[in-house]
A and B are shown apart, each in its own frame.
Chain A
Amino acid sequence: MNGKLEATNVCVEYLIARTGERFRALEDVCLTVNEGEFVSFLGPSGCGKTTFLHAIDGLVPVTRGEIRIDDRAITKPGKDRAMVFQSPALLPWRTVMCNVMYGLEIQGAGGQAGKQRVTNLIKLVGLEGFEHRFPNELSGGMQQRANLARALATDPEILLLDEPFANLDEQTREFMQAELLRIWATTHKTAIFVTHNITEAIYLSDRVVVFSARPGHIKKIVTIDLPRPRPLKLKRQVEFLKYEEDIWEMLQEEVAKMGMRAQET
Chain B
Amino acid sequence: MSPHLSAAPIAQDTLPRVEKQESFFTRFISTRKHILINLTSVLVFFLIWEYIGTSGLINPLFISSPSAIVQSAAQWVQEGSIWNDLYVSGTEFVVGFALAIIVGIPFGILLGWYRTFNYIFEPFVFGLNATPRVALVPLLIIWFGIGLWSKVAIVFLGAFFPLVLNAYAGVRTVDDLLLRAARSFGANDWQIFRTITLPSSVPFVLAGLRVGLGHALIGIVIGELVAATAGIGYEMAIAGATFQTARLFVGILLITIAGVFLTGVIGYIERRFDAWRPQRM
B13–A92 CB distance below 8 A: no
Across the interface, A136 reaches (CB within 8 A) one of B12, B177, B278, namely B278
Q: Which residues of the other chain, B, contact A171 by a CB distance below 8 angstroms?
A: 9, 12
A93–B276 CB distance below 8 A: yes
The minimal Cβ–Cβ distance linking A183 to chain B, given in whole angstroms, is: 14
Complex-state Cα separation, A198 to B275, whole angstroms: 39
B185–A154 CB distance below 8 A: yes
A240 close to chain B: CB less than 8 A? no
Q: Which residues of the other chain, B, contact A76 by a CB distance below 8 angstroms?
A: 186
A65 close to chain B: CB less than 8 A? no
A243 close to chain B: CB less than 8 A? no
Task: Encode contact with B along A118-156: 1 for CB under 8 Å, 0 otherwise.
Answer: 000000001000000011111101100000000000100
A77–B186 CB distance below 8 A: yes
Chain A residue at minimal CB-CB distance from B181: A89
Q: Which residues of the other chain, A, contact B199 by a CB distance below 8 angstroms?
A: 91, 93
Complex-state Cα separation, A176 to B191, whole angstroms: 32
The minimal Cβ–Cβ distance linking B233 to chain A, given in whole angstroms, is: 40
The minimal Cβ–Cβ distance linking A167 to chain B, given in whole angstroms, is: 13
Residues of A contacting B: mostly: loop
Instruction: Given A89-B180, A102-B195, A175-B9, decide whether A138 and B15 contact each other with a Cβ distance below 8 A.
Output: yes
A75 close to chain B: CB less than 8 A? no
The minimal Cβ–Cβ distance linking A114 to chain B, given in whole angstroms, is: 13
Chain A: number of interface residues, binned into ranges? 35 or more
Residues of B contacting A: mostly: helix
Task: Encode contact with A along B7-51: 1 for CB under 8 Å, 0 otherwise.
Answer: 001101111100000000000000000000000000000000000
Q: Which residues of the other chain, A, contact B181 by a CB distance below 8 angstroms?
A: 83, 85, 89, 102
Chain B residue at minimal CB-CB distance from A137: B15
Tell me how many residue pairs across A and B have CB atoms closer than 8 Å. 82
Complex-state Cα separation, A136 to B281, whole angstroms: 14
The minimal Cβ–Cβ distance linking B205 to chain A, given in whole angstroms, is: 13
Across the interface, A85 reaches (CB within 8 A) one of B180, B196, B202, namely B180
Complex-state Cα separation, A92 to B195, whole angstroms: 11
Q: Which residues of the other chain, B, contact A141 by a CB distance below 8 angstroms?
A: 12-13
A139–B14 CB distance below 8 A: yes
Across the interface, A139 reaches (CB within 8 A) one of B9, B15, B177, B178, namely B15
Complex-state Cα separation, A93 to B197, whole angstroms: 12
A103–B185 CB distance below 8 A: yes
A172 close to chain B: CB less than 8 A? yes
B55 close to chain A: CB less than 8 A? no
The minimal Cβ–Cβ distance linking A118 to chain B, given in whole angstroms, is: 14
Sorted nearest first, the 10 A-B pairs with minimum C-beta distance are: A141-B13, A89-B181, A103-B185, A89-B177, A134-B276, A93-B276, A106-B185, A83-B184, A92-B276, A106-B187
Which of B's residues lie within 8 Å of A, judged by CB?
9-10, 12-16, 175, 177-178, 180-187, 191, 195-196, 199-200, 202, 273, 275-279
**What are 24 A-B pairs at a CB distance below 8 A?**
A77-B185, A83-B184, A85-B177, A85-B184, A87-B177, A89-B177, A91-B199, A92-B276, A93-B199, A93-B276, A94-B276, A102-B195, A106-B187, A106-B195, A126-B10, A134-B276, A135-B276, A136-B277, A139-B14, A141-B12, A142-B15, A171-B9, A175-B10, A175-B13
